[in-house]
Amino acid sequence: MKLQDIEKKFPPFDKSAGEAAYLLSTKKFVRYVETPTPEQLIPTLVWAVKPGPRVDDYEYPPYIHYSCGKCGMATMSSGPNAAAQLVRHCGIVETVPEHIAEKFREMRGKYWERSKKKQPPQPGSNKAVDARLDQLVADSLGYKPREVLIAELQAHAASVKRS
């Protein structure tokens, strides 16, 4: 138990329950209850600017990642307006801190410089890259892979010829 002398001449100190009961009975000490600091009461987001993931030869744009240890909210956003967004959580609305916004703009600028010099892989230049790009599109949009579409078209063409 944490105690402090009534006159507050000394900082609070810890005592076992037995010793604390005795000291409290002397009426020269009171139980010390810690009050949370304003910083502990305010929910705070943890912000980070991260480079976009690389898939094969292609690099995605950088993004802002943010998470809150209090409500568990964790998400990310990218795009030209990512630094201007409002984030709602814990019953409050937060704006992107200026140093994070600045770092994001800087990383985004460098990303566009790089991507101007380096074109994303062109379909048809590399079979493995083609297959991977097809797979990514199929996964994200629910499209059928190219081979499946071709097989379906060929089957359809064959059935038309037969009839």
Residues that bind Zn ion (CB under 5 A): 43, 68, 70-71, 89-90
Nearer of residues 67 and 78 to Zn ion, judged by Cβ: 67
d(CA 102, CA 47): 12
Nearer of residues 24 and 73 to Zn ion, judged by Cβ: 73
- Closest contact distance (angstroms) between CB of 40 and Zn ion is 14
- Closest contact distance (angstroms) between CB of 42 and Zn ion is 10
Nearer of residues 89 and 108 to Zn ion, judged by Cβ: 89
Region label for 24, one of left (φ > 0), alpha (ψ between -120 and 50) or beta (otherwise): alpha
- Closest contact distance (angstroms) between CB of 60 and Zn ion is 27
Residue 100: count of CB within 10 angstroms of its CB: 19
Nearer of residues 68 and 129 to Zn ion, judged by Cβ: 68
Region label for 58, one of left (φ > 0), alpha (ψ between -120 and 50) or beta (otherwise): beta
Q: Which amino acid is at 62?
A: P
SS3 4: strand
The helix (H) or strand (E) run that includes residue 48 is strand 45-50
- Closest contact distance (angstroms) between CB of 68 and Zn ion is 3
